[in-house]
Structure 1
Amino acid sequence: MNSFFSEALKKSEQKTKGEEILNLLRNLSNEKQDEKQMEQDYWSYEVPLDTGMDGGVGKARIVILGVGGAGCNTANTLMELGVMGAEVIAVNTDYQHLQRVKAHKKVLIGKSITNGLGAGGSPELARACAENDASLIAEAMGNRVDLAFVAAGMGGGTGTGASPVVARIAREKGARVIGVVTLPFKAEQRLRMKVAMEGVKQLRKYADTVVLISNDKLLSLAGPLPIQDAFRIGDYTLAVMVKGITEIINKKALVNVDLQDVRNVMAAGGVAAVGIGESDHPSHRATEAVKMALENQLIDISTDGATGALIVVTGGPSMKLSEVTEIAEYVTSRMDPNAVVKIGADIDPNLGEKIRVILLLSGIHSPQILPGTPEPVKRSPINWIRPEEDVEEIVAATLGPGYMLKF
């Protein structure tokens, strides 16, 4: 198998607790943030805003919002990886969980409603908490947001109920919004899946794109690993996806890719997936890196007919122009002939003999990719109603044949 995750799993079987696969995922980041970088505790009674990440002229303002337990875990993983040029904000109703995660800012919502004890699995209660403290969430984001990621787990309380409110607030600030969410296990209660589907429908109203990750696919991928390591693979996959887009925009390069390029790709068909791959093969490193970037087994994708792509190639001093061209041709040959394509390239001495490829693709076909259906921005309560039929079909396809929910 050529898949990055499959190869990583083969190697992980030779080590205890899947350390090899976790190390491979961690190694996708070669730029750690300064260990002394300030982590700000951001509670509902204190609003520190001086984070040094407010953007400015010539710099995109990017925020990454982890909502609920799963979303905050993704935020924590991003802090471990070190993400450049973005602010990480953790949002939760659970005070204890917020204390355990790392983020540039932390927002405890619903303090006056639940006293920091969580939403008890109720999306309605979580939504009320988010609405009640909407001004605090908005203040944490700052005055301007160009791009916002909203990461959450669907099917529980806070992630399901609060993430649409968070996405709406980001849109009110003019941001493009990308939702990245996980779905419950197939074996879990049908009610939990119904709640998850309703949450996805509500999030779609305010997100330009929603990417779904199936926990069942994670289970099939990481079966041999201990449960804690298996879920860390999921956390790292989501985090690397977000990190990839963020650093495409804000990292300086020889051939630059900017926020407007991302907007153009999104306009071409909506952002669908991000892939990151690297290789130091002595003769085929370019091909191996781009294949790795295209093969993400937690999201089943097909590039046939893709309508837009950002391709960023980074390598050590030995990287050749012909290798950059080879990577670009490999991707574009699998896309629509009229696709919008932007290519960036840079040299990073820290990579040595490696080549790294980061792809941002739009118009991709997948049962796990939901195009956004943004509505005009307005401040109004979110009603928990039956999801549209297309959401049912997509989720059923994600979970496998014969798993169709009817209400």
Structure 2
Amino acid sequence: MVVDDGLNVAKIMVIGVGGAGNNAVNRMIRAGVNTAHFVAINTDKQALLLSLCDPEDRYQIGALETKGLGAGAEPEIGEKAANESKELIEQIVDGVDLLFITAGMGGGTGTGAAPVIAKIAKEKGCVTVAVVTKPFSFEGNKRSKNAEKGIANLEKHVDTIIIIPNDKLMEAMKPNTPFVEALSYADDTLRQGICGIADLIATPSLINLDFADVKTTLKNQGLAHMGIGSARGENRIVEAVKGAVSSPLLETTIEGAKSVIFNVTGGTDLTLTQINDAAKSIRDIVDPEANVIFGANINPELQEEVIITLIATGFDADGNGIAEENARAYNELFAVKREDDEEEEKQPAEPVYEEHTAWAPNRSYGVNNGAQYAEQTAERPTVTRGEYLNRDSRAFNPQNAGYARPAEPPKAATPEYPDERYTAEYRQPRPSAPAAYESAPARYEKEEDKPKKDLPSFVKRLFGGKKKD
């Protein structure tokens, strides 16, 4: 299909290779996707009869090699079939600017033929993107090894690759989900990735993204992340970004990406602030030096709704792309919870130690214990021992005696100094203390009058729920 956005013309094609690839193309056609030209390629003549592509867009390859009976789950046969039909494949991809190749890895035709098709397409000047699935673990070691070899071979000949492991369906779907529905969910993820890029180019926008922008992001980039997020309501920007940057079926998120292109589509109520919020949320996660390109589009039908389409590339060589600091930013931004949805127990914060002027004319470097220090302007009492306690974390510094600077920063409570060390022996009397100190009963109350509280959780974990004698 030739797409003209008013400024640029780009021909976008999606080729489904093998049984899984043909099924994925069928689903996109059923979904009414009209921003790309769909083609089905297979070694199995009977399987092509089930394709929803136009008859002239269904191609049998390797007729001499396979006799039209398929590759029999042998990638070598699929590869030979594609090489046999090299001239036909060259004709199919001729003039295509952006080519998507979708296939299931592990079988014969998809695994063997897809890399050959990708190589031919790149030689013809196409920007080539592969969107492939990995087999379920229960399909056996042979199929899994075939898939790994096929992906490794495919990566050599494509600009960008998106990998969808079928095993992730186990994590994303409920246990009682019908198998057909689960496979449809995987196909839908694939469809979103392909449609997301095609729509970026094909849909006229308020702030336009052309093929050159997409080409810059995809060309020779290796592993990629593509996603679409949509949301309604007051918090729709954050929720839409969350859906776009992380898919439960993909092996990637956008952490550490060095090149990002995204588009924000909203109704007539879409504001500049919302676009800025989306951009800021994305920038907080990707590499600080990432090249970020964005577009914006108005769809009057999307009142109080936002759709964000995103492509991220330029990950680390190992394909991970998840830098520790950026992963932390993602978790903080979206309040990520554990899989069991239980909020993790908050650990006591490390005490904050600040230098402050105390007990004039000397200087002490202890804990600034809140307002009772800040408000203290009257005459300071004389102190002979200066072990100051941070009551919030139940930690103190035994080295901070007198007016000496501690040899090292005070640490949180340890087995040597558990909670019960918070006793009267470490609270020296201050007979001349002003009212600010007298108004702090938690610091000066008698130990026996102190309310009994349950042990903090971190002490329970250290001592098995029992106090250390």
TM-score band, normalised by the shorter chain? 0.7 to 0.9
Q: Does 1:78 align with 2:28?
A: yes
User: Which position in structure 1 is the counterpart of 2:384?
Assistant: none
Q: Does 1:53 align with 2:2?
A: yes
User: Which position in structure 2 is the counterpart of 1:96?
Assistant: 46
Please give the alpha-carbon distance, in whole angstroms, between the structure 2 residues aligned to 1:369 and 1:115. 42
Unaligned 5+ runs, structure 2: 322-469
Task: Determine if contact 2:225/2:254 at 8 Å carries over to the other structure.
Answer: no
Q: Does 1:363 align with 2:322?
A: no
Please give the alpha-carbon distance, in whole angstroms, between the structure 1 residues aligned to 2:222 and 2:154. 15
Shift of 1:253: 0.7
Please give the alpha-carbon distance, in whole angstroms, between the structure 1 residues aligned to 2:110 and 2:257. 30
Please give the alpha-carbon distance, in whole angstroms, between the structure 1 residues aligned to 2:231 and 2:141. 42
Identity %: 38
User: Which position in structure 2 is the counterpart of 1:230?
Assistant: 182
Task: Please give the TM-score of this superposition, normalised by the length of structure 1.
Answer: 0.73
Shift of 1:111: 2.3
For residues 231-279 of structure 1, what are the alpha-carbon distances to aligned partners after superposition, in whole Å with 9 as ceiling and x for unaligned? 0000111111111011111211111111111222235955611110111
For residues 143-164 of structure 1, what are the alpha-carbon distances to aligned partners after superposition, in whole Å with 9 as ceiling and x for unaligned? 3122111111111100011001
Task: Determine if contact 2:163/2:251 at 8 Å carries over to the other structure.
Answer: no
Q: Does 1:140 align with 2:92?
A: yes
**Following superposition of structure 1 onto structure 2, how do residues 167-246 of structure 1 map, counting pairs within 5 Å?**
167-222=118-173, 223-246=175-198
Please give the alpha-carbon distance, in whole angstroms, between the structure 2 residues aligned to 1:235 and 1:101. 15
Picking from 248, 251, 264, the partner of 2:203 is: 251
Task: Determine if contact 1:265/1:271 at 8 Å carries over to the other structure.
Answer: no
Please give the alpha-carbon distance, in whole angstroms, between the structure 1 residues aligned to 2:91 and 2:36. 16
Q: Does 1:67 align with 2:54?
A: no
* SS at structure 2 position matched to 1:312: strand
Select the structure of larger CA radius of gyration.
2
* SS at structure 2 position matched to 1:349: coil
Task: Determine if contact 2:158/2:220 at 8 Å carries over to the other structure.
Answer: no
Task: Determine if contact 2:2/2:10 at 8 Å carries over to the other structure.
Answer: no
Please give the alpha-carbon distance, in whole angstroms, between the structure 1 residues aligned to 2:220 and 2:91. 32
Quick one: structure 1 residues 267 and 206, their matched pair in 2 at CA, closer, same or farther if it must change by over 3 Å?
closer
Please give the alpha-carbon distance, in whole angstroms, between the structure 1 residues aligned to 2:320 and 2:143. 20
Task: Determine if contact 2:262/2:311 at 8 Å carries over to the other structure.
Answer: yes
Greater helix fraction, Structure 1 or Structure 2: 1
Quick one: structure 1 residues 137 and 273, their matched pair in 2 at CA, closer, same or farther if it must change by over 3 Å?
same
C-alpha RMSD of matched pairs (Å): 2.2
Count of paired positions: 317
Q: Which moved more, 1:297-306 or 1:147-156?
A: 297-306
Please give the alpha-carbon distance, in whole angstroms, between the structure 2 residues aligned to 1:237 and 1:187. 22
Task: Determine if contact 2:262/2:295 at 8 Å carries over to the other structure.
Answer: yes
For residues 66-121 of structure 1, what are the alpha-carbon distances to aligned partners after superposition, in whole Å with 9 as ceiling and x for unaligned? 10011111111111223343211111111222111212411111223323211111
For residues 262-318 of structure 1, what are the alpha-carbon distances to aligned partners after superposition, in whole Å with 9 as ceiling and x for unaligned? 22223595561111011111x111111111111201114343322011110001111
Q: Does 1:119 align with 2:71?
A: yes
Shift of 1:365: 5.9
Picking from 227, 234, 243, the partner of 1:275 is: 227
Quick one: structure 1 residues 276 and 367, their matched pair in 2 at CA, closer, same or farther if it must change by over 3 Å?
farther
Quick one: structure 1 residues 53 and 103, their matched pair in 2 at CA, closer, same or farther if it must change by over 3 Å?
farther
Task: Determine if contact 1:84/1:250 at 8 Å carries over to the other structure.
Answer: no
Please give the alpha-carbon distance, in whole angstroms, between the structure 2 residues aligned to 1:197 and 1:250. 33
Counterpart residue identity of residue 127, structure 1: E
Counterpart residue identity of residue 211, structure 1: I
Task: Determine if contact 1:185/1:216 at 8 Å carries over to the other structure.
Answer: yes
Query: Greater RCO between the two (CA within 8 Å, min separation 6)?
Result: 1
Task: Determine if contact 1:84/1:247 at 8 Å carries over to the other structure.
Answer: no
